[in-house]
Amino acid sequence: MFGFLKRRKARKREETRARPFPESWRKTLARKFPFYARLNAADQRELEGLIQVFLDEKRFEACGGFEMTDEARVVIAAQACLLLLHRETDVYPNLTTVLVYPDTYVAKTRWREEDEESDRASRVRLGESWDRGQVVLAWSSALAGAANMHDGLNVVLHEFAHQLDQEDGAADGAPGLACEGVKACYVRYATWARVLGAEFERLRQRRDQGRRTVLDQYGATNPAEFFAVATECFFEKPRQMLKKHPELYEELKEFYRQDPARIE
């Protein structure tokens, strides 16, 4: 039964990818996501197919008075699917719903009424990735991130990097890595742990010393945030990362099967 369902899902995805990509969506990408124009024709077509699958399978919900549009869905999906190019992927299998607020929102957490004023600032969010099948985004930040792919900050890339990290059941900065055989996988994971562990500690030290960094210092929070921040930097500041953090760049280049420093 499982094999039958898997084959049926694969056939449906092939049919979805085969459908003509709406010209209105392509115009939205050209206007709102300039990174799309930097991709070669083959990568553009692959990205379009992934967008079609993503939009066919994931539900979008408007929150906080936001009015959902095709533009919002396409711009968010394009950034999320950029992380999937060239990779064997099940298109965020744990994700069911993308919740979109018009702007920053206050996260719903347990709180006491007397703590509301002091605690509110710490709960203001641009985005979140939940392990219960949901990603939450502020549209204003998602749109700004799509428009400017050079500042190292992109809430969609950040939260969907968390989704990749969570696919193996734990948000720990170590997503599932492609490898074959026990020995090859041991080497792959050991190298990942060594490189990202060292870079995480380096970022923490530089933050504590008040020194400037290429990587956003929010990545010093924990290994999961480091992976998400490193993903943002890899796609948005690839040449700076390659120069300052060559081993980290190479690990992410192998994981994402992309080399953005060559197309920046």
State whether 33 and 90 are in the same domain.
yes
- Predicted local distance difference test score (pLDDT) of residue 115: 47
Alpha-carbon distance values, 71 to 30, 74, 100, 206 (Å): 11, 5, 13, 39
Identify whether 152 is part of a domain. yes
- The tally of domains found in the chain comes to 2
- CA-nearest of 146, 145, 158 to 225 is 158
CB 145 within 8 A of CB 155: yes
Tokens 């900050």: give the residue: 153
C-alpha to C-alpha distance for 216 and 137, rounded to whole angstroms: 19
Structure confidence by residue, pLDDT tens digits, 200-251? 999 999 999 999 999 999 999 999 999 999 999 999 999 999 999 999 999 9
Query: Final residue of a domain: which of 163, 195, 211?
Result: 163
In this predicted structure, the answer to whether residue 118 has a pLDDT above a threshold of 60 is: no
CATH of the domain at 98: 1.10.472.150
C-alpha to C-alpha distance for 246 and 50, rounded to whole angstroms: 29
State whether 80 and 124 are in the same domain.
yes
Range of the domain at 197: 182-262
Query: Final residue of a domain: which of 163, 190, 224?
Result: 163
In this predicted structure, the answer to whether residue 126 has a pLDDT above a threshold of 90 is: no
- CA-nearest of 174, 168, 166 to 230 is 174
Query: Final residue of a domain: which of 136, 163, 190?
Result: 163
Structure confidence by residue, pLDDT tens digits, 253-263? 999 999 999 98
State whether 16 and 131 are in the same domain.
yes
CATH of the domain at 226: 3.40.390.10
Q: What is the pTM of this model?
A: 0.91
| 20, two tokens | 């003509």
- Predicted local distance difference test score (pLDDT) of residue 112: 47
